[in-house]
Amino acid sequence: MQNKGYSVYLHLGPIPNDWHVVNAQDICTKITDGTHDTPSPTKHGVPYIKSVHIKKGTIRFDDCLFLCQEDHDIIFKRCNPAKGDLLIVNIGIGNIGHCAYVDVDFEFSMKNIALLKPDPKLINDRYLYHYYKSRQQKVTHSTKTGGAQPFLSLRDLKKLKIVVPPILEQCKISQILSTWDKAISTTESLIANSQQQKKSLTQQLLTGKKRFTEFGDEWSLVRLGSLLIEGKERNKSNTISRVLSVTNHSGFVLPEEQFSKRVASKNVTNYKVVRKGQFGYNPSRINVGSFARLDFYDVGLLSPMYVIFSVNESQLNSDYFMNWMSSNEAKQRILGSTQGSVRDSVGFDALSSFPFKLPSFPEQQKIASVLTAADQEIDTLQQKLSHLKQEKKALMQQLLTGKRRVIVDNEMEAA
């Protein structure tokens, strides 16, 4: 089925002549929403979800609430979600406009969530979900604000513009996009499993609960300070201009990448110099994981408030120490160091006082290599996930606008 020409619609751009633009109310048998009251939850009963339970296109029932049958019946009489329906958060902070496809066949109640029930004679339910998902960001940007919380009115949702191809083409498009969704979901599960396995492996290897057969020596108990060398170099000559900061999600970054602007002082001669292979952290943010090793730049500057140090590489493997700093033991040491203090701050002296179990250097290297391999596996999966999402996004832009037409036959292929 090839398009012969295109029609142009305001805000939607050109679409094939045999496609139509309709309001959501024209292809749905019902558009309504759940309760806006706050019913009393019970320990058991009928599942009850709120806006926080709509995540990544699915409904999170694993941590949902429950209502008694009487309260559920009152809400369900007005708003009766069923398999194939589209749910849209229409009142909330942070996730308004987010959606989910109903893929369960049991009853449940909702609060602050809209329901769009597609007419199967006019619209494929999965197609409606994918089409709305492709326009979710634009819908969210047009969100109205009323009172303390932003909201999407039912009136706006009923007038939401939907591009509708012929029904068989809708089905084929939804099948293709659902295949990509399955690949993305599978990869996300692999990442979650790999991360959990790495966490468990880290706990076992860094505590000595799991040892390699070639190593049997007892681990030494030392103070961390005996293995660290504080970095005190300053930018007195003003020859270094690259100012960095440390985040808990990306390690060393340029401030303009995090804050969209340079946040350093004009005079950086008193800033501390950090060189490749050294560690750095803000003493007041190490408790939230803002700690990193400089790996991607040869040299940079950190604010004078930061702590910079290197490890004695003849005694302590840098990769081993990096893994230890993300372990439960290190987190407990940091937490214990801040308890009872006026500020949650861990300076170099406090860090140096931490007791530390030290394996032989060869055993450190072996542990570090195993954990590094686990990290590389996770990185590979995350790159695959990123590519899948980008490819699906590009495919959606083509298929849901008719720029790329599908052939409706027994084979799933694109023309």
Q: Residue 312's closest CA among 202, 218, 224? A: 224
pLDDT grade for 386, boundaries at 50, 70 and 90:
very high
**Which comes out higher in pLDDT, residue 116 or 95?**
116
pTM of this prediction? 0.81
Per-residue model confidence as pLDDT tens digits over 195-236: 999 999 999 999 999 999 999 999 999 999 999 999 999 999
Q: Domain tally for the chain?
A: 3
The pLDDT tens digits for 233-284 are: 999 999 999 999 999 888 999 887 665 555 567 789 999 999 999 999 999 8
Q: Which burial class, exposed, middle or buried, applies to 163 when counting CB atoms under 10 A from its CB (0-12, 13-18, 19+)? A: buried
Domain that holds residue 95: 20-164
**DSSP code of 52?**
G
The residue from 100, 130, 164 where one domain ends is 164
Rama region for 238: left / alpha / beta (φ>0; ψ in -120 to 50; rest): left
Question: Residue 2: its pLDDT value, please?
Answer: 44
Position 116 confidence tier, pLDDT thresholds 50, 70, 90? very high
pLDDT of residue 411: 47
pLDDT (tens digit per residue) in 44-85: 999 999 999 998 889 999 999 999 999 999 999 999 999 999
Amino acid identity of 146?
G
Q: For residues 112 and 157, state if they share a domain.
A: yes
* Domain identity same for 227 and 341: yes
pLDDT of 413: 45
Q: Is residue 196 in some structural domain?
A: no
Q: Are residues 37 and 141 part of one domain?
A: yes
Q: Are residues 352 and 232 in the same domain?
A: yes
